[in-house]
Structure 1
Amino acid sequence: MVLGVTFLTLSYPYEATKRIVPSTLETKIAEKRPLSTSEIKSFEQKFALKAVDSKLLQLKLKDKWYFSKRNTSDHIDVISLSNYNELMALQHREQLKKLVLNEAVLVNYYASLAPVNESFTLKDGSQTLQVKKATNQNPFAFANSVVTVIVSDAKFNELAQKYPNASYAIVSFDGKNMRDNEKLVQAFKKLRSHTLVLMSGIN
């Protein structure tokens, strides 16, 4: 029993940290200074990492949404199913099954057994996303995306065409035994100046 309690005490904070920042390293890319394909490949090779470049749409909501009892968001971050599953594969986590055009999945950061029935109406009133399913498998750090909504690839492309100025990018890196390697972060900061660099690990 003592051994079990000791293991949980030590392992739970580490697992919680992994959920806060699920990839080894993650950064939101500045629009004016994007990373080139060659820069990403070079960084992957140098540190034995794999990278996933994610495209998201930050869409304003008509009404603020409470993602906890006290915290609200005036937008949602939309990601395509294929992009989400690519990140799940990178992070060695369970992937989602195929979604139909108007089906959406909410990344629920607070575990709950209650059924999901959410409706996100965009600020211009032209689109409403109905959410009937949720997952606790967050693809990004909480600091970069709190209310993430997963849609089919077809729906994502439709929204991307309608809201071309809403897109932004996040690059995620993952590699074996690299989650608390400070040299990795320092090298990445020297590579380019980005909005935010987040790294998993207990410091």
Structure 2
Amino acid sequence: MSRREQMFVGSSYCLVSTDVTTVSCLYNSSCFLSCHYKTGKATIIHWTYMTGGDVTVHSFYYDRDQLKLQDPRYKGRTSLVEDQDTGRPTELLLKNVKVQDEGKYQCFADSEEHGYKTSTVVLQVDAPVQRVDMVRAGNSITCSSEGVYPEPELTWSSSPQSSSTVQQTEEKLYNISSSLKLSDMDGDLLLSCTVRTRLNKLTTTTIHFNIIVDKYQSGT
């Protein structure tokens, strides 16, 4: 094993990153993390998850993947992708993205021609709002949405606003719900409930007479 390989294999290290990028990845999808280095073939590529520790994500040297030190949570979910023009492995493919994957990643790339360079990628996970439901029970109506990330915000078109209940699942996704007392409202009402995250929002609108009639859903 060369001296450069010994810099990180089986040991801890600290490097100053010169490139920082942020990528947004959809929950349960595949995501590409770019590793920037100068022209020429990298003899060593080492990806590390830096948030809350120093976890090996993927290593490449001796012209092949080296996964003995790979953290178990990344097993079977990573691979290096070569650039079609240069044939150089420039991206890390991360499959089946989970909320727990969110955080800071560092790529160490070393070539005999240009030396080493590090890149930092901040991965954000998004599970967009897919559906907003309204259900009437007695004199109250409840608006809810499930499987959202990051923690969403729920607002009503009515006043006063009702407080929301937020729960986090084992997968770290959020379920949110809020209820309004219909007895506190006078006359016929057009009620709208909106659930939003940093990625999107979805609104459900209902008409309140003596019954609730669902009209439409609209999203952005």
Higher relative contact order, chain-length normalized (CA < 8 Å, sep 6+)? 1
Give the TM-score normalised by structure 1.
0.23
Give the TM-score normalised by structure 2.
0.22
Tell me which structure has the larger Cα radius of gyration. 2
Pick the structure with more helix per residue: 1
Pick the structure with more strand per residue: 2
